[in-house]
Amino acid sequence: MVSTETREVVIARAAITLPENRQKDGCDRKMKRPYAYATDTARSCVPIF
């Protein structure tokens, strides 16, 4: 994740790339920052800021 991006941009991009690209384990592994995850299904997750 690029630090220069705003949170809104990151959330919007994450919403576009769901649900196939980011599975729950892949998302947790890729984003190692202390975010809580909202999971609407077992296959998708979005960082909550």
Half-sphere exposure of 10 (CA within 13 A, CB side): 14
> How do residues 22-35 score in pLDDT, each as one tens digit?
455 555 555 554 44
Q: What is the rounded average pLDDT for all residues in the chain?
A: 56
Q: What is the largest CA-CA distance in the chain?
A: 30
Q: Does residue 44 contact residue 9 with C-beta atoms inside 8 Å? A: no
Name 13's Cβ contacts closer than 8 Å, sequence gap at least 6: 5
Q: Which residue has the tokens 């960082």?
A: 47
Contact predicate 19/43, CB 8 Å: yes
Whether residue 40 has pLDDT greater than 50: no
Specify the pTM: 0.25
Report domain extents, the chain. Answer: 7-48
